[in-house]
Structure 1
Amino acid sequence: MSEIRLDFVTKRAVIFTNIRENKPTDLWDKNIMNVFEKFDDIEYSPNCPFCVGNEHMTPENQYDSEENWKVKIIPNMYPIIQTEMEIKSINKFCYVSTGIHDVIVETPKHNETYFTMDLNQFNIIYEKIHKRYKELINNDDISYVSLFKNYKMLGGASLQHSHSQILSLDAIPIKLNYEINSSYEYYKDKHSCPYCDMLNFEMKAEKRIIYENEYFIALEPYASAYKYETWILPKNHISSFENEEKISYLSEMLYKVFNLLYNTIGNFPFNMYLNSLLKNKTECKDSYHYSFRIIPKIAGSAGFEMSSGIRVNSIYPEDAAYNILKKNNLINI
């Protein structure tokens, strides 16, 4: 029997059916999934624009003046959106919008990843990201700032060297806007933040939490759309990432979660992104809760998902959490 679960806030449907976990396949397997798993194990590549010594291959590091850098932020040479702030209307269905697209080069070492970095490197990365995020979100010409990381080819990455991206523009993303509006409708009905309620529910259930520290919690969401999908949320109600003050605790949480996932499912491709309250939604500050979301790309989407908008997941989140805790010796068998 299959089970359909609804997202706590948006009511997005996910079908869970663990029978399909063992379906036969000769196309989607680990060898194909990790077609570029075998990276050269080198700290420097003469062809990599992000390696130390190859700074001439990228735009000037305009945000930092350090010569012996640990993390640097540079303009993206191939931006999704251009850097000049200008809006030009073409018709009611189309307008030209420009913004700012940066790359965060997360390490000087070519072969270092989120699975091999130490905690200190995570601290440096997220201190710089937080600083840059605040600069961008406070720009009057910017409505939305997207922070995201693509890892491996199946995660959409084009370069091996560890990096993330921060893209700011004047447009409002429909998906995030819908989630924020849904949380506000919940708040008007329940007089509480749905994410705070979700955290209280999960802490009592003790089935889907994989790690927590003093200020943050990591869990496999109840209606997770992807295998081993993981959310990281502040325990206290904070609607906007720019208002976060406990960056060292966030860094420790990210460092720990990526280690836990690596020990469970290996060197997997993923996307990670930040959801934070939009600037024009100040009335929703009590109903929305910012979060980091990690989406492993270890299963593909098929025609049913595309035609229906309903995801199919063959691993229940409580089973995923159990597997993570078991693999990391965090529970007694």
Structure 2
Amino acid sequence: MQSISELDLTEIKLMLVAYQHRLRHWRKQPGIQYISLFKNVGGDAGASLQHSHSQLLATDQMPNSVENINERMRAHQARTGCCLQCDIIRAELKQKQRIVAQTNSLVAYCPYASRLPMLLRVTTKDHVDHFDQLSPDVLDDLARMIKRMTGWLETLIPNAAYNMLLHTRPPGARGNAEAFHWSLEFFPRISRIAGFEWSSQCMINTVLPELATEKYRKCAAAENPRLVL
């Protein structure tokens, strides 16, 4: 077993609960500034073990890129009084160009100008900064959405290697809780990071998010048209 799509909903929910427990543990440890929680599926995505697994790394330093993102979110919240992610979600829900699916509590969409092709992001419509604060009901909803998302991805790209990344408020983040909003990202490994990307730190995305949205929507509509928008 390698992919999340091979798990049933109860197993996915237990996986998410385990994520919450480990995040809470490491958040309490002295000196921890940042927690990275991710899942690699397939060799091209960096998986080094054959069996299904997730990984968590807790560090005593905040990565510069994460600190830069946190600073932009703090600045936006200070300037507008609103969370940047909440504002993005409201705009996406209004435009509906890049929304793939939603439930009462969650929204899945392809972010505008995403760095990687076919990237999907899911988060709560209501503001929550820490993933480990999500309620059991929202975790049930998220387990269903994760299973659907991996199914869409594997329908479009059979046997695809992919990464799942959890973004939650780092223990070392400055500012108030209103500035950060958790999210979960999926993306297949269908492109290579080569010389230009490494030298410039500029990513080349060969699939417009709007086109990716259309592809994912077709998969979602095939399951249940009522759950697309």
Does TM, scored on the shorter chain, surpass 0.5? Answer: yes
- Does 2:183 align with 1:291? yes
| Equivalent-residue separation in structure 2 for 1:298 and 1:208 (angstroms) | 20
Aligned to 1:53: none
1:264 to 150, 156, 181: 156
Instruction: Give CA-to-partner distance per residue, 1:134-157, whole Å, 9 cap, x none.
Output: 122122242222111111111111
Following superposition of structure 1 onto structure 2, how do residues 24-103 of structure 1 map, counting pairs within 5 Å?
none
| Equivalent-residue separation in structure 2 for 1:251 and 1:139 (angstroms) | 28
- Does 2:21 align with 1:161? no
Q: Which amino acid aligns with 1:221?
A: P
- The structure carrying a bigger helix percent of its residues is 2
Q: Conserved in 1, the CA contact under 8 Å of 2:110 and 2:213?
A: yes
| Equivalent-residue separation in structure 1 for 2:106 and 2:221 (angstroms) | 21
Q: Conserved in 2, the CA contact under 8 Å of 1:148 and 1:164?
A: yes
1:165 shift after superposition: 0.7
Specify which structure has the bigger relative contact order, considering alpha-carbon pairs within 8 angstroms and separated by 6 or more residues.
2
Q: Which amino acid aligns with 2:159?
A: N
Q: Which amino acid aligns with 2:202?
A: I
CA 213–159 in structure 1, closer or farther in 2 if over 3 Å, else same: same
CA 243–328 in structure 1, closer or farther in 2 if over 3 Å, else same: closer
Aligned to 2:213: 321
1:281 shift after superposition: 2.6
Aligned to 2:42: 152
Q: Which runs of 5+ in 2 are unaligned?
A: none
- Does 2:63 align with 1:173? yes
2:145 to 243, 249, 253: 253
Following superposition of structure 1 onto structure 2, how do residues 141-290 of structure 1 map, counting pairs within 5 Å?
141-245=31-135, 246-290=138-182
Task: Give the secondary-structure state (helix, strand or coil) at the position aligned to 1:163.
Answer: coil
- The structure carrying a bigger strand percent of its residues is 1
Q: Which amino acid aligns with 2:221?
A: N
CA 277–169 in structure 1, closer or farther in 2 if over 3 Å, else same: same
1:136 to 10, 26, 33: 26
Instruction: Give CA-to-partner distance per residue, 1:6-62, whole Å, 9 cap, x none.
Output: xxxxxxxxxxxxxxxxxxxxxxxxxxxxxxxxxxxxxxxxxxxxxxxxxxxxxxxxx
Larger Rg: 1
Kindly tell me the number of residue pairs found equivalent between the two proteins: 222
1:328 shift after superposition: 4.1
Runs of 4+, deviation exceeding 3 Å: 327-332
